[in-house]
Structure 1
Amino acid sequence: MRLPPPRGPITEALFRALEGPPGAARIDAAGPDDEDRQPALFALDDEDTQLALFACYELHYQGFDGVDDRWEWDPGLLGFRAALEEGFERSLAAAVPRPADPGPAGVRAALVALTCTDEEPLLSLFLQREASLENFREFVTHRSIYHLKEADPHTWAIPRLSGGPKAALVEIQSDEYGGGRRERMHSELFRATMRGLGLDDAYGAHLHRVPGVTLAISNAMSLFGLHRRWLGALLGHLAALEMTSSVPNRRYATGLRRLGAGSRTVGFFDEHVVADAVHEQIAANDMCGGFAAAFPAYTGDILYGAACATELERRWAEHVMGCWQRGTGSLWTEPVPA
């Protein structure tokens, strides 16, 4: 994966530095001088800051072609990232009210309440009933940012857990990684979906196309995964993903079959209908419930992580459906200079 084109002064400064050797240049994380613009600068859909934060996090995953691996732990880069994270955490806190703490015994019920809604998810219904192949290509392009590294952000939690919660997470992640069979890894199944839709299935191939609201979803996972203080939020985040997966994935599979897609193209979604119905029980009861019982002080963090997952997903779906309803594309296009 190569560095994408910058989207503003922050990514310009970051990418310019990453093209050189670590420690050779100071990365200026400062935003506009006008303090009134600071909240907008770190908005959850801001193109410049979300892309910059994503790029900083990517150094802990597979990195970028031509970028020295030593940048991963460069003190200047970490200071730059910390400034971005501070703004991102403030934006999350403003957008996601912290749920009431029900105590360890109430974690399961609270997670169910957070992930169940009376509102019909318009995006999944649209993809099931009306979407064109081009709509599905856009949808899969958005999803490729996470699904080509599926499970990786949550795996950071494994060495930070012990006992029952650790065993529960390993059980979930083992399925995500195909039980040791490459062709069954969820990331590989998603690659088959991309190929079936005529899309480039290379890791990070579409980073330059996805908007900030999509990047924010992955950034939240990496934020929670890379900071041990957010361990409870990471577990709640994973539980929310598992508990809201089966029904939408069934609809996606139905929509693709309606359009004539074959079993290999639909296989990723079929897999999640079955697997996540099991995973949601393990995640809510054994993983989150067990962790809350062992560490009651983290119960609130578990629910906050779940709430962040559902809110960021809602904002992303609202963006995509809003674009389609207006007859426009939902992917990033560079603004035309004035």
Structure 2
Amino acid sequence: MINRRTLIGGGAGLVLGGLAIPLFLGPGPHHDQSPGTVGPGCTPTGQGLRAQAVPRQEWVPALEAAARVAGIPAQFLAAQIEAESGWNPEAVSAAGARGLAQFMPGTWDQYGNGADPFDPVAGIRAQGRYLHDLRGRIAGITGQDPQRLVFAAYNAGPGTVLKYAGIPPFRETQSYVAKILDLAQRVYSAECAGTGPLELRPGKGAWVHPLPHSRLTSGYGPRPCPAGAACNPWTTFHFGLDFSTGRGRATGRGAMVVAPTALRITLVQELAGGYGSRIMARCLLEPGYIFDFHHFALGSMLVHPQQEIEAGTGLGIEGNTGNSTAAHLHFQVIKPESNDRQMIHADTIDPTPILVEKGIL
């Protein structure tokens, strides 16, 4: 029997037997206190837990002990607890998940060692044991960030992660993983604590979805070779996010793609192959990252190089040009030091955390 639960504060699916029922997970809470700054190369894999960010200091030793059991730094366990229960040891979800770590009764019977599910220390210990088991079940996947994979397995099921050989292309799972990694870096890591989302921290401002009323169809990272595409390093690792409205199935022309924030256009290319019709632009908010939009319908692009535009300005129509099997938008984020015209894939970073932070995913 597959257990299902709805988690307090947004909702995620607890998984057993490699299956889950995905639910929407909204963006995480924003923290106003800024204990430090994030250096340009900082990642959330440091080993230091920022103990003062944990609401009850008597929980810190349990977190550190559970982290040793799980083989995952303690700041990730703290971030997951915030995502699950908001640090409320009395939390009960609509589906019956209980306690700080939000275990369903059947899973608690397996990992709770006979303790009270509302005992916060017991919940943290069970969390460590469960994450340890998940790590073991996905150990065959190599060359990827184990923290991302284990939380993807927690949300979508280890069987699903094995099937996709990485984080599956589910909006809810990708948002859940991004939220935990963001909190681990921004709030709970002594070495990386700062004010911005994971990896990409443009300045404040209003953001909109680059393809409104679309769904995420492929996430950043390794993936199986898409059906109908030639298998090569560019198709088996996805260097951005794909969004589709489904409106271009018959004609190859979908909905309007818009600027997610204020941009300066740097490149407009009308191409039938490769990336297809393409627009590149620099974010006008610090620190000036480059955004790359691919696969516009031929003849649909509405902007020109050096033009400065506001959030929500139309860029062109979602299309199927280039190496594409259906009408969609491919959205990439590129490091600011990269050359606008000579971008290499090593310059890309995962756009998911910034879109989660801005409330888009």
For the criterion TM > 0.5, the same-fold answer is no
Under a length normalisation based on structure 1, what TM-score does the superposition of the two structures give?
0.29
Under a length normalisation based on structure 2, what TM-score does the superposition of the two structures give?
0.28
CA radius of gyration, larger in: 2
Query: Relative contact order, CA 8 A, sep 6+: which one is greater?
Result: 1
